């Protein structure tokens, strides 16, 4: 049994112009200790998927799924008290903007101790010592002093380290990192990613890394899920994805990487834009921008089908010849 | 924090002198002088008029009067009332406890009901409760105080006989004034039932006076909560697996309190100046009534002194609010 199992997850938001579907029929299995990358453009549903899993979507979001379970526990319609015992302990999350994700009114130490106390309890002095150890572990210099600091006294990178310390405090079995480096300086980005990878290996936890950076994916994850406009398009091992992408969107995305455009005068791009609420095509959602489109693509939405070790949502998957 | 405080206190000094100057000038801009007002329609011979003015010290040039007044204030002497010949400070001190008593109860009621009501409305935004709360607070906010007061008197005093109509305590009790606060004095006295009577007298004025602060505090709490509940750190707190109660009452409220405390401070300031209408309706012998009567009599020392004391108190309350602000908000507490 996989650690995380999601079948046909749909997330919808009612709007004035009708229902906006942020996630559409998402399936996902994640094994213990596995690292999965979810890539996609902004608004493709990456974060919403994980927030739905955590039960953190704000009202009036509607979440439906045929199955959504963590370690055999059904996460759908979970009682609040039951959910609170899982979140922060077995499943933890690191967010995109570290500076605003820590409460400005409380010291770093308070917020760390709170996480430990909520799930494990213990004496104050022992908790405090563990908080210092956690800060040390995530590479915060001078943790004895920093534990008294307030978030506004720390840099973005330091705040993210504190967030990570808080997330791993109770040794979760699944860590979700939602674009953990987007808001940080380039030099800090590599450090934070390195830290996450190191902690993942050391604690043997499963990790979902949400990003829109293909470079990050190539370095850090075992498997990749590519999402486009609310739908998962392709699921492959990292190596297979980079060597022979099966979905035309994935291929075009990789084609647009600057590394693959060396010596050219212009970057290759995908023409057109992501469809909005009003102009969603009836067939394949990528059909208006796809260079291999035909009549069937325009009329019949493809479903996710298994293809060797991976899955792809396309009527005409690309051939398996290595590029 | 110390530098922050020093800056706040530094601002008080010029404000203080500004208020001395303004009250002095503004009162003298009002047509008529104390002598004319006292005599009314009958008129007076110019010689006698001049003599009375000289007696009050109002014949001297304005600049001299002003300097004399400032010198007095700095010595702690606010002058003597024209109409009662009593020192202004003593009159103020004898009336002020009544105003404080009423203000304290009204603000307490406003805070105890307003903050929980606002939190609940913020949490259940768009619900029936939210709409009811918002409508009720809008009604409270816009209702004329005198009408609301009379309505309550008619219902609870005249028709139901639950509460007394006016005053601070039943006339059958003789309570020695120890602290000036009727409820405390009544408790200290040996008179049976005096405390109950004082409380019953306090009830309706408190409700009337609390209506506006209650509405303001509830609305402010709701909007502050709505803003804070959408913040990223609230999502973090929930992701940590904290209970909804802890997320709202600790993580959200602690941040929302910053604007709420400001509003409460402002309301206290307003109420300390005397609830003129409420005090008049309920014949509550407080500062508001005293000042209104002083305006009618052109009692310059009372007005100058009274306004100055109240303004100083408001500044003090604001200073306390600023300190509370610093205590609540680490970004202020730790410099920047």
Taking residues B139-158, what's their average pLDDT?
A: 88
The string of pLDDT tens digits covering residues A18-36 is 888 899 889 999 999 999 9
Would the pLDDT of A322 be above 60? Answer: no
Residue with tokens 């003593």: B90
Residue B78 forms part of a structural domain:
no
Query: Does B232 sit within 8 Å of A101, measured CB to CB?
Result: yes
The string of pLDDT tens digits covering residues A255-304 is 888 878 777 778 788 888 888 777 888 889 999 898 888 999 999 999 88
Query: Does B239 sit within 8 Å of A80, measured CB to CB?
Result: no
Q: From CA A279, how far away is CA A208, in angstroms rounded?
A: 31
The string of pLDDT tens digits covering residues A195-217 is 999 999 999 999 999 988 888 88
Residue A56 forms part of a structural domain:
no
Residue B202 forms part of a structural domain:
yes
Q: Which residues of A touch B243 (CB under 8 A)?
A: 80-81, 84
Would the pLDDT of B104 be above 60? Answer: yes
pLDDT at B314: 86
Would the pLDDT of B208 be above 60? Answer: yes
Backbone torsions φ then ψ of B93, nearest 5 degrees: -65, -30
pLDDT at B336: 46
| Crossing angle (nearest 10°) for helices B128-142 and B194-229 | 120
Query: Does B237 sit within 8 Å of A103, measured CB to CB?
Result: yes
Distance of CA B266 to the CA centre of its chain: 9
Would the pLDDT of B42 be above 90? Answer: no
Interface test with B, best of A54, A80, A81, A103 (most B CBs within 10 A): A103
pTM: 0.81
> Which residues in B301-336 are b (16+ Cβ under 10 Å) and which e?
bbbbbbbbbbbebbbebbbebbbbbbebbbebeeee
Would the pLDDT of B237 be above 90? Answer: yes
Confidence of residue B79 (pLDDT cuts 50, 70, 90): confident
Residue B186 forms part of a structural domain:
yes
CATH of the domain at B304: 1.10.3720.10
Interface of A with B (CB under 8 A): 54, 56, 58, 80-81, 83-89, 92-93, 95, 97, 100-107, 114-115, 118-119, 150, 152-153, 163, 166
Angle value at C-alpha B218, between B216 and B222, nearest 5 degrees = 115
Note every long-range contact of A10-13, with CB atoms under 8 Å and residues 24 or more positions apart, other chains counting. Answer: A10/A63, A10/A64, A10/A65, A11/A45, A11/A48, A11/A49, A11/A52, A11/A57, A11/A61, A11/A62, A11/A63, A11/A64, A12/A61, A12/A62, A12/A64, A13/A60, A13/A61, A13/A62
Q: Helix, strand or coil for residue A51?
A: helix
Count interface pairs A-B at CB distance under 8 A.
77
Query: Does A93 sit within 8 Å of B329, measured CB to CB?
Result: no
Q: Which residues of A touch B130 (CB under 8 A)?
A: none
Residue B114 forms part of a structural domain:
yes
Q: How many CA atoms lie within 13 A of B35 on its CB side?
A: 17
Taking residues B182-206, what's their average pLDDT?
A: 83
Q: Of A154-168, A171-185, A256-270, B277-291, give the lowest mean pLDDT range.
A: A256-270
Residue A295 forms part of a structural domain:
yes
| DSSP sequence for B156-173 | IIIIS--S-SSSSS-TT-
My answer on whether omega of the bond before A60 falls inside 30° of 0, hence cis, is yes
The string of pLDDT tens digits covering residues A47-84 is 999 999 999 988 788 999 999 999 989 998 888 899 99
Would the pLDDT of B41 be above 70? Answer: no
What's the gap in Å between the CA of B123 and the closest CA on chain A?
A: 11
Would the pLDDT of B51 be above 90? Answer: no
**Domain ranges, residue B315:** 88-333
Q: Which residues of B touch A118 (CB under 8 A)?
A: 240-242
Torsion of the alpha carbons at A131, A136, A140 and A143, rounded to the nearest 10: 60
Residue A303 forms part of a structural domain:
yes
Sign of the C-alpha dihedral computed for residues A277, A281, A284 and A289 taken in this order:
negative
Pairing of strands A174-178, A91-94: parallel
- Spell out where chain B has E strands: none
pLDDT at B335: 57
What's the gap in Å between the CA of B115 and the closest CA on chain A?
A: 19
Would the pLDDT of A323 be above 60? Answer: no
Residue A314 forms part of a structural domain:
yes
Sign of the C-alpha dihedral computed for residues B3, B321, A101 and A182 taken in this order:
negative
Query: Does B232 sit within 8 Å of A100, measured CB to CB?
Result: yes
Residue A233 forms part of a structural domain:
yes
Confidence of residue B219 (pLDDT cuts 50, 70, 90): very high
Q: What is the mean pLDDT of chain A?
A: 89
| Cβ of residue B335 closer than 8 Å to a chain A Cβ | no
Residue B33 forms part of a structural domain:
no
pLDDT at B40: 67
- Facing residue for A101 by CB, picked from B233, B242, B328: B233
Residue B13 forms part of a structural domain:
no
The string of pLDDT tens digits covering residues A106-147 is 999 999 999 999 998 889 999 999 999 999 999 999 999 999
Q: Which residues of A touch B240 (CB under 8 A)?
A: 87-88, 114-115, 118, 166
Query: Does A54 sit within 8 Å of B241, measured CB to CB?
Result: no
Residue A92 forms part of a structural domain:
no
Would the pLDDT of A190 be above 90? Answer: no
Query: Does B254 sit within 8 Å of A56, measured CB to CB?
Result: no
Q: Of B61-75, B148-162, B177-191, give the lowest mean pLDDT range.
A: B177-191
Taking residues B143-168, what's their average pLDDT?
A: 87
Residue A297 forms part of a structural domain:
yes
How many structural domains are present in chain A? 1
- Higher-confidence residue of A190 and B332: namely A190
B69, two tokens: 């007044």
Q: What is the mean pLDDT of chain B?
A: 86
Pairing of strands A223-228, A231-237: antiparallel
ipTM of this model? Answer: 0.89
**Domain ranges, residue A253:** 222-323
Q: From CA A318, how far away is CA B315, in angstroms rounded?
A: 75
Would the pLDDT of B90 be above 80? Answer: yes
Q: Is B187 exposed, middle or buried (0-12, 13-18, 19+ CB in 10 A)?
A: middle
How many structural domains are present in chain B? 1
Residue A309 forms part of a structural domain:
yes
Residue B92 forms part of a structural domain:
yes
Q: From CA A86, how far away is CA A170, in angstroms rounded?
A: 11
């Amino acid at each position: 049994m996989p650690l995380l199992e999601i079948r046909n997850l749909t997330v919808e938001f009612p709007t004035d112009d009708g229902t906006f579907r942020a996630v559409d029929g998402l399936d996902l299995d994640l094994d213990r200790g596995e690292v999965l990358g979810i890539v996609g453009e902004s608004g493709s549903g990456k974060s919403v998927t994980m927030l739905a899993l955590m039960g953190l979507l704000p009202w009036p979001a509607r979440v439906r799924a045929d199955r959504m379970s963590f370690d055999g526990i059904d996460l759908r319609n979970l009682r609040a008290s039951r959910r609170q015992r899982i979140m922060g302990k077995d499943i933890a999350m690191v967010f995109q903007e570290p500076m605003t994700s820590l409460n400005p009114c409380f010291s770093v130490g308070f917020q760390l101790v709170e996480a430990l106390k909520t799930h494990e309890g213990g004496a104050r002095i022992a908790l405090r010592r563990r908080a210092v150890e956690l800060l040390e572990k995530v590479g915060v210099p001078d943790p004895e002093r920093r534990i008294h600091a307030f978030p506004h006294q720390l840099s973005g990178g330091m705040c993210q380290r504190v967030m990570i310390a808080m997330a791993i405090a109770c040794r979760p079995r699944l860590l979700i990192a939602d674009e953990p480096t987007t808001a940080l300086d380039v030099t800090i980005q590599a450090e934070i990613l390195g830290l996450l990878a190191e902690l993942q290996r050391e604690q043997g936890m499963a990790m979902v890394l949400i990003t829109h950076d293909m470079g990050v994916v190539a370095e850090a994850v075992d498997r990749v899920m590519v999402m486009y406009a609310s739908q998962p398009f392709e699921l492959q091992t990292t190596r297979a994805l980079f060597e022979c992408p099966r979905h035309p969107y994935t291929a075009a995305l990789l084609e647009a990487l600057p590394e693959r455009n060396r010596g050219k005068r212009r970057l290759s791009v995908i023409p057109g834009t992501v469809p909005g609420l009003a102009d969603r095509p009836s067939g394949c959602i990528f059909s208006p921008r796809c260079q291999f489109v035909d009549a069937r693509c325009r009329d019949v939405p493809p479903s996710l089908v298994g293809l060797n070790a991976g899955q792809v949502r396309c009527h005409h998957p690309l051939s398996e010849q290595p590029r | 924090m110390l530098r922050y405080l020093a800056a706040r206190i530094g601002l008080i000094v010029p404000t203080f002198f500004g208020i001395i100057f303004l009250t002095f000038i503004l009162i003298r801009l009002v047509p008529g002088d104390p002598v004319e007002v006292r005599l009314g329609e009958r008129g007076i011979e110019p010689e006698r008029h001049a003599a009375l003015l000289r007696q009050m010290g109002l014949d001297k040039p304005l600049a001299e009067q002003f300097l004399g007044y400032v010198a007095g204030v700095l010595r702690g002497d606010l002058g003597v009332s024209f109409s009662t010949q009593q020192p202004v400070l003593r009159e103020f001190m004898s009336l002020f406890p009544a105003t404080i008593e009423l203000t304290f109860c009204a603000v307490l009621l406003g805070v105890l009901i307003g903050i929980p009501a606002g939190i609940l409305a913020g949490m259940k935004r768009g619900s029936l409760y939210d709409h009811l709360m918002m409508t009720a607070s809008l009604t409270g906010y816009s209702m004329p105080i005198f009408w609301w007061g009379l309505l309550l008197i008619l219902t609870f005093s005249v028709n139901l006989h639950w509460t007394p109509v006016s005053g601070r305590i039943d006339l059958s009790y003789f309570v020695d004034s120890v602290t000036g606060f009727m409820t405390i004095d009544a408790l200290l006295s040996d008179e049976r039932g005096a405390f109950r009577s004082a409380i019953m007298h306090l009830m309706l004025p408190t409700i009337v006076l609390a209506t506006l602060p209650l509405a303001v505090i509830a609305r402010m709490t709701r909007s502050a909560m709505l803003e804070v509940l959408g913040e990223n750190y609230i999502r973090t707190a929930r992701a940590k697996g904290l209970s909804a109660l802890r997320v709202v009452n600790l993580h959200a409220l602690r941040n929302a309190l910053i604007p709420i405390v400001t509003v409460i401070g402002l309301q206290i300031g307003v109420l300390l100046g005397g609830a003129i209408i409420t005090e008049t309706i309920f014949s509550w012998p407080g500062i508001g009534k005293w000042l209104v009567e002083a305006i009618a009599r052109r009692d310059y020392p009372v007005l100058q002194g009274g306004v100055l004391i109240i303004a100083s108190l408001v500044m003090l309350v604001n200073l306390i609010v600023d300190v509370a602000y610093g205590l609540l908000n680490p970004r202020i507490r730790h410099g920047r």
